[in-house]
Amino acid sequence: MNHYETVFILNPVLSEEQTKETVLKYEKFLTSKGAKMISKEDWGLKKLAYPIQNKKKWFLSPF
Q: How many Å apart are CA 54 and CA 22, to the nearest integer?
A: 22
1 assigned to some structural domain? no
54 assigned to some structural domain? yes
Identify the pLDDT of residue 63.
61
Query: What would the pLDDT profile of 6-47 be if each residue is shown by its tens digit?
Result: 888 888 888 888 888 988 998 999 999 998 888 888 888 888
For the chain, what is the domain count? 1
What phi and psi, each to the nearest 5 degrees, are found at residue 23? -65, -45
Residue 55: CB atoms within 10 Å: 11
11: domain range? 7-62
Identify the pLDDT of residue 14.
83
Identify the pLDDT of residue 25.
93
Check which CATH number belongs to the domain holding 43 and give it.
3.30.70.60
